[in-house]
Structure 1
Amino acid sequence: MTTALQQQVFALDARYNAHRATGSPNFRTLYIRRRSQLLRETNRNADQWKQYLKTRSNLLQQRYGNCKLESASSSNLSRTVSRTSIMTECQIPVSASSNVFLVPTKEAEASRAIVGGNSIAENYAFSGVHHIFDQHSAAVTMVKFANNDRSRICCSSLDCNLSVCDVASGPPCVLAVLKGHKQAIPGFDWSANNDLIASVSLDATIKLWKSNDFTCLRTLKEPNNAQMLCCIFQPSNNNLILVGNNRGEIRIVNVSTGLFLKNSCKMSGSILSLTSDTNGKIIWAGNDHGEIVAIFCEFNGGLYKTKRILVDPNCYITSLSYRAWISREARDPLLLVNASNNSMCLFSVIDAEGGLQLKRKFQNRHKRHIVRSTFCPIMSFRQGACVVTGSEDGSVYFVDIEKIGNKAVVNTLQGHSRCVLSISFNYDESLLATSDLDGLVIIWKRGNKE
């Protein structure tokens, strides 16, 4: 209870960030970092926190008035949404398509004893702020830790730049800002061994960056001058990069030759999200017409559509994430989907062609922006299976996908004052990175470890 009230205080102060020291954004982030430290060090009971929250809210309103965010110019990737009050209790109800639990937890008591008796909420008690980055002047569209790396993280932004930061091996710092794109960068991906970063831009280029010295290895122009919106390295052949554009095309880039392959796959709308299964044989693509298309990818780059599912013709599919095992007891391939009809959906992969069947649907505040979610990376024998999603109400939600109703939300982080766009864990789940529409990246540290 006390932790939840501390988060509400932190969120209240974050909402008034824009009114403090308007000419010094660095001071604003310093204030929030200090606020987080004070909240952790102050020993109050729940009743005292409630009174403190009420008093502080009154003082901030007297000083700055009611906090309302101004509208900004809109674009395909960034449209301003009015800031609603942060929920004091999580309100993400869930509906189930079946009564079958995802994880056969009753049959593995001895296995769960290995990881201890903590509840899933205790395992994901991310409450403290490790660091706040504000090197970007516009929305940070994607944050992603390097593969099997607990310290390096990359961020892409609408300000046309990428940045690479170190958050764990020493004092948090920005290692480099990668400049070269002429327009907004909606996404990027790390190669399997983290030696390359591929970034795509609305300027119709894809750039390959070397992560050892942060130089640009190669810049490739899209053959039809289409805006490139998402990309992923092919998991079993990192010499190939799959790219989705605003003409509904999925194309392949050969890293060695620096050329686009002739093979392509066409679907309707704009391709906003891509993911693949573990070996890269099946690719799923989501567009702005509410469709998810499964595509068979040959090792040499051939692409063939296999299955299609319509989630909602009036929404965007903004995020796709694949997981073969949600826990060591549930060998159930799943696809996690964010859709701009105020929902986050969980689909079972039901066949070798990438066919999907709805398993769970959660409500989430999501109508206008490219909001992403992710599976928690560690597979374990603990009871419960958790995913994390951003939201347009400025909160970060940890959702136990086995549970139904309001009990599904096991933790809520409230520190962003604008829509939370992207989420990323490091490999050992000790740190969580979240980014928002104002360009802030918050690194949260885990409250307790297994």
Structure 2
Amino acid sequence: MSTTTALQQQVFALDARYNAHRVPQSPNFRTLYIRRRNQLLREASRPTDRWKQYIKLRSLLLQQRYGNAKAEQHSSSNSLSLAGSLRSLTISESTTPIRSPSGSVVPTKEAEASRAIVGGNTIAENYAFVGVQHIFDQHTNGVTMIKFANNDKTRLCCSSLDKTLSVCDSLGTPPTVLAILKGHSKGVTGFDWSINNDLIVSSSLDGTAKVWKVADFNCLRTINDPNLFPILCCLFQTSNNNLILTGNDRGELRVANVSTGRFLKDVCRIGGSILSLTSDTNGRVFWTGNDKGEIMSVFCESNGSLTKLKKLNLPSSCLVTSISYRTWISREARDPLLLVNATDDSIYLFNIIDAEGNLRLKRKFQNSQRKYIIRSTFCPIMSFRQGACVVTGSEDGSVYFIDIVKSGKKCIVNTLQGHSSAVLGISFNYDESLLATSDLQGLIIIWKKGNA
């Protein structure tokens, strides 16, 4: 990314930070304003020194007009403490950029030979997401998770601490919010699409999981945690979408039946507060992450019975805020992998080494994360290029594209700057033409590739 493009994104981030102050009673106008600002900034042509002068002047004018936006940012940040369901974290935010420690993945010659298949583009060229397709601001609090529908280029679901979910069409003319799903009485912590995209399951601090019909956006089922403990994550069982797995803040992993609307009697006690959950392709082995720095593998029978398998402890007692599974993403990373975010300023990449879900550390990267539920994702296309890429949010407001093959500063292949608060959610559509990111203030940005 050029210096000029980076400075343009800094101006965009500055405007986004103050956007909530503009015409508070007219969110449509604010969305239109920030989209137009982005368009004008991309069309503007200035030397680097002029951009730097413009940023200083723009910042001064906005502060004089609206005051210091950071005060509001910090006041709203408390809402992401999961309403007191997690232990209090008093450590201040880190703004250290991502760095990569020693360690590498040895490239294979086969990748070198197959680069011609994809035109010889580099990882950096392939992930040059610089343009903004659209900006959504329908949520009034942090957007905890965003996810495109399975094998779908356009439909995007978002969950928020404002107690609602939203389903959007990100490529409409214009892009639109198709529905706001209301029914939870407290913040929505996460959700999942069913394999056919006909259902959405959501989890909430109100101690319920709700199943929504996508056809008419009505609530099909409300499933109550037996003790109404806050539910912090949920997932459809891949091979049987009539079963849903949930993790609550008392460390209980449970299975619910969509048809009956009830939890099964079997309870798997993980401990701590279960913050993150993922499964292998077949939905047989699941991994949970809790607020004690523990990652546990669990076997799920076809009838929903759960058996704990193996536990791995991260070096520090931190929050494991995101876990993603991938069979392989490139010729250099063919083993099954887990991608993990944790509040020790780290992103971990693990090899899955056996059928019981045992993990072996492959790489570790430093990220700015000490307090919030930050997520990351594998890039969905299995790349034939030399290199393999993951994308993560951070508490410094940036989105980082990381080549897991490279080390040092070279591992950062792209950085997006458009959010003015911690970036919580990350999601690609299936063909990587769009990337969606969400932040602590409720802003959702749909990024498109530079050549799109």
TM-score category (smaller protein): over 0.9
Inter-partner Cα distance in structure 1 for 2:330 and 2:115: 11
The match for 1:140 is: 143
Q: CA deviation at 1:49?
A: 2.9
Counterpart amino acid of residue 295 in structure 2: I
Q: CA deviation at 1:68?
A: 2.4
The match for 1:38 is: 40
The match for 2:395 is: 392
Q: Tell me the C-alpha RMSD between the 2 structures.
A: 2.2
Query: 162, 165, 175: which one pairs with 1:162?
Result: 165
Counterpart amino acid of residue 208 in structure 1: V
The match for 1:173 is: 176
What do residues 209-250 of structure 1 show as CA deviations (whole Å, max 9, x unaligned)?
110111111111112222111011111111111111111111
The match for 1:53 is: 55
The match for 1:129 is: 132
Q: CA deviation at 1:158?
A: 0.7
SS of structure 2 residue aligned to 1:108: helix
Counterpart amino acid of residue 377 in structure 1: P
Alignment of 1:381 with 2:381, yes or no, is no
Residues 16-415 of structure 1: pairs in structure 2 closer than 5 A: 16-64=18-66, 67-70=69-72, 71-72=75-76, 73-74=78-79, 76-77=81-82, 91-96=97-102, 98-101=103-106, 103-104=107-108, 106-328=109-331, 330-415=333-418
SS of structure 1 residue aligned to 2:33: helix
Q: CA deviation at 1:256?
A: 2.1
Inter-partner Cα distance in structure 2 for 1:305 and 1:366: 29
Q: CA deviation at 1:132?
A: 1.0
What do residues 155-189 of structure 1 show as CA deviations (whole Å, max 9, x unaligned)?
11111111111111432001111111111110010
Counterpart amino acid of residue 178 in structure 1: L
Inter-partner Cα distance in structure 1 for 2:373 and 2:194: 23
- Matched-pair contact (CA < 8 Å) for 1:338–1:371: yes
Q: CA deviation at 1:21?
A: 3.5
- Matched-pair contact (CA < 8 Å) for 1:74–1:80: no
Q: Percent identity?
A: 68
TM, length-normalised to structure 2: 0.92
The match for 2:15 is: 13
Inter-partner Cα distance in structure 2 for 1:202 and 1:140: 14
- Matched-pair contact (CA < 8 Å) for 1:77–1:369: no
SS of structure 1 residue aligned to 2:387: coil
Counterpart amino acid of residue 379 in structure 2: C
Q: CA deviation at 1:65?
A: 5.4
Inter-partner Cα distance in structure 1 for 2:413 and 2:182: 39
Inter-partner Cα distance in structure 1 for 2:153 and 2:111: 29
- Matched-pair contact (CA < 8 Å) for 2:139–2:162: yes
Q: 1:216 to 1:63 in 2, by over 3 A?
A: closer
Q: 1:132 to 1:75 in 2, by over 3 A?
A: closer
Counterpart amino acid of residue 150 in structure 1: K
SS of structure 1 residue aligned to 2:12: helix
Inter-partner Cα distance in structure 1 for 2:223 and 2:129: 40
- Matched-pair contact (CA < 8 Å) for 2:224–2:262: no
SS of structure 2 residue aligned to 1:296: strand
Q: 1:141 to 1:81 in 2, by over 3 A?
A: farther
Inter-partner Cα distance in structure 1 for 2:71 and 2:179: 31
Q: CA deviation at 1:23?
A: 4.5
What do residues 356-388 of structure 1 show as CA deviations (whole Å, max 9, x unaligned)?
111111111111111111011111201211111
Q: CA deviation at 1:137?
A: 1.3
Worse-superposed segment, 421-430 or 76-85: 76-85
Inter-partner Cα distance in structure 1 for 2:97 and 2:371: 19
SS of structure 1 residue aligned to 2:420: coil
SS of structure 1 residue aligned to 2:361: strand
Q: CA deviation at 1:29?
A: 2.8
Q: 1:82 to 1:127 in 2, by over 3 A?
A: farther
Inter-partner Cα distance in structure 1 for 2:79 and 2:53: 39
- Matched-pair contact (CA < 8 Å) for 2:190–2:232: yes
What do residues 265-304 of structure 1 show as CA deviations (whole Å, max 9, x unaligned)?
1111111000001111110000011100011111221211
Structure 2 residues not aligned, in runs of 5+: none
Inter-partner Cα distance in structure 2 for 1:342 and 1:313: 11
SS of structure 1 residue aligned to 2:10: helix
Worse-superposed segment, 53-62 or 34-43: 53-62
TM, length-normalised to structure 1: 0.93
Inter-partner Cα distance in structure 1 for 2:322 and 2:66: 36
Inter-partner Cα distance in structure 1 for 2:445 and 2:295: 31
SS of structure 2 residue aligned to 1:336: strand
Structure 1 residues not aligned, in runs of 5+: none
- Matched-pair contact (CA < 8 Å) for 2:392–2:400: yes
- Matched-pair contact (CA < 8 Å) for 2:92–2:370: no
What do residues 392-430 of structure 1 show as CA deviations (whole Å, max 9, x unaligned)?
111111111111112111111111111111001111111
Inter-partner Cα distance in structure 2 for 1:318 and 1:244: 13
Counterpart amino acid of residue 441 in structure 2: D
Counterpart amino acid of residue 76 in structure 1: S
SS of structure 1 residue aligned to 2:7: helix
